[in-house]
Amino acid sequence: MDLFSRNAEARRLNQPLAERMRPQSLAEFIGQEHLLGAGRLLGKLAPGQNLPSLLLWGPPGTGKTTLARLLAEAVRAHFVTLSAVQAGVKEVREAVAEAAQRRDQYGRKTVLFIDEIHRFSRTQQDALLPHVEAGTVTLIGATTENPSFGVVAALLSRARVVRLEALGDDALLQILRRALADKDRGLGALDVRIADEVLHEIAALAGGDGRRALGVLEAAVDLARGDSQTAVVDRPHVIEAAQTRALAYDKAGDEHYAVISAFIKSMRGSDPDAAAYWLARMLEAGEDPRFLLRRLVIFASEDVGNADPQALVVATAALHAFELVGLPEGALVLTQATVYLACAPKSNTALTTYAAARKLVRERGALPVPPELRNAATALAKTMGHGQGYRYPHDFEGAYVPADYLPAELVGATIYQPTESGYEAELKARLQALAARRKP
C-alpha cells in the first residue's frame, strides 16, 4: 500500500460508522420497498434510462441522500450535491452552467441534489425552474418537511414527490447486523459480542433512524471494548451510548403538525389512551405547553361545546392552573384536561352554528335591526319608534314570550341545530318545547 492509499484508508476509518456503511448500490439499500421493490417507481433503473426529477420527503436517517446518489449512479448521471443551508442562487447557476457544458461536450446527464430544499427561498427555487423544465439538470431535492409547505407550486409540478418512511425494526436490525459483519467498512474486524435483545434495544431507541442506530451501536462498542479488540456489549452500554431517545419532532415543521393532528383527532374520537400518548410525545419533545393548552380551550368549544358546557371550564381552568405551577407538575394539569375532553360527549355545533350565521351575514349583508329590538335609551330613539312593541320575557310565564329576533328577511331561518349528545339533548328538547308554544 502506497502513502496515498494509506492516507485514504486512514480517512475512511476515521469516518463515523454510519458514513462508512452507506450502501454502495441500490441492491445494498435497505428499506423503502414501496419505492424500490419490483414494479415500483424506482425499482428498475438502468444506464440510459430517464430519471424523473424527485422530491424525497421523509424523516432523518431514512436514506434520502444515499438514495439520490445511488439513483444517479444507476442511470450513469453525474452527481452534484448542494446544501440549501449553505448554497445560494450563485451556486445553483454555477452548477447548472457546468451541467449544460457536461451535456453539450460529453453527452452526460447531471443529477443536481439539493439537501433540505425547503430551506431555499422562493427566489432560489424559482432560479431552478427553467433548468429543470429544460432538462439541463434532473433535480432531486431532499426534505424532512412537507413539500406542500416548503416548495413552490411551480417546482412541485415539475417533480414527483416521493415519501420515504421511517425504518421499521426489521430494517434497522438488518442494518445493524450488516455493520457488525462487515470487516472492511464495519465492525467485523473486531470481536463484538452482542445479544439479539440488545440489538432490538438499539433498534427501538433509534426511532426509525438508520443513522442514529449505527451511531448508538458504534458508541456502545467503544464503551464496551475500551482499548481491546474484544467487546461484549450489554444493555447498560447501549443506554449510556444513546443517553436519551431522540424524538422525531420539529416544533415548526411537518412532524409538529402530524402529532398535534393525531392528538386532536384522538380526543375527538373519545380515545383518552391515544390522546394521553400524543400529549406525552409532544411534551417530551419540548413542545410549548401553552400551545397545547390553547388547543385544549379551542377543542372544548369546537368539539365538545354544549354537549358538556363544563369542558370549557376545565380547559380554561387548566390554562390558569398551569400558569401557577409550570412544568413538570403542569403536565398533570394538561393530562387531566386532555382525559376529560377525550371522555366528554361531543358536539361541533359551536362550529357549525357560527359557520351558518357567518354565511348568512356574508350573503345578505348588514340587514337592519328590527325597530323593537333597537336601543331605546334616549328620547330621540323613542320618538323614532325604537323599542316599541318589545315584550320583556321575564314579564311572562317561564320567562318566555313568542317573538322574532332575526332581521325580517331572515325570520324562520334555523342556524343552531342541537344534537342528541350529552347536555345538548336537553337544550334540543327545551327549544322544541318553546317552538311548540309559538304555534297558534
Confidence band of 55 (pLDDT split at 50, 70, 90): very high
pLDDT of residue 269: 94
Torsion sign (Cα): 113, 118, 124, 129: positive
pLDDT of residue 246: 53
Number of Cβ atoms within 10 Å of the Cβ of 321 = 18
158 in the same domain as 37: yes
Residue 9 lies in a domain: no
pLDDT of residue 382: 73
pLDDT of residue 230: 84
Cell numbers given for 205: 431507541
Residue 22 lies in a domain: no
- Among 151-160, 309-318, 411-420, top mean pLDDT goes to 309-318
Confidence band of 44 (pLDDT split at 50, 70, 90): confident
Q: Are strands 160-163 and 78-83 parallel, antiparallel or unpaired?
A: unpaired
Helix ranges (H only) for 243-389 are: 254-268, 272-284, 289-299, 310-325, 330-343, 349-364, 379-383
Contact assessment for residue 381 and residue 375, using Cβ atoms and an 8 Å cutoff: yes
Residue 16 lies in a domain: no
- Among 31-40, 103-112, 117-126, top mean pLDDT goes to 103-112
pLDDT of residue 4: 47
Query: Average pLDDT in the 266-273 region?
Result: 95
Q: Is the pLDDT of residue 421 over 90?
A: yes
Residue 433 belongs to a domain with what CATH number?
A: 1.10.3710
CA-to-CA separations, 377 to 24, 368, 404, 407, in angstroms, rounded: 85, 18, 21, 21
Give the pTM: 0.62
Residue 226 belongs to a domain with what CATH number?
A: 1.10.8.60
Domain that holds residue 408: 362-438
Overall domain count for the chain: 4
Distance of alpha carbon 169 from alpha carbon 202, whole angstroms: 9
Q: Is the pLDDT of residue 194 over 90?
A: yes
Cell numbers given for 71: 439513483
Domain's final residue, options 187, 211, 242: 242
Distance of alpha carbon 22 from alpha carbon 144, whole angstroms: 19
Domain's final residue, options 242, 267, 301: 242
**DSSP-derived secondary structure letter, 304:** I
Q: Determine which of 330-339, 368-377, 399-408 has the lowest per-residue pLDDT on average.
A: 368-377
Confidence band of 89 (pLDDT split at 50, 70, 90): confident
Average pLDDT of the chain, as a whole number: 87
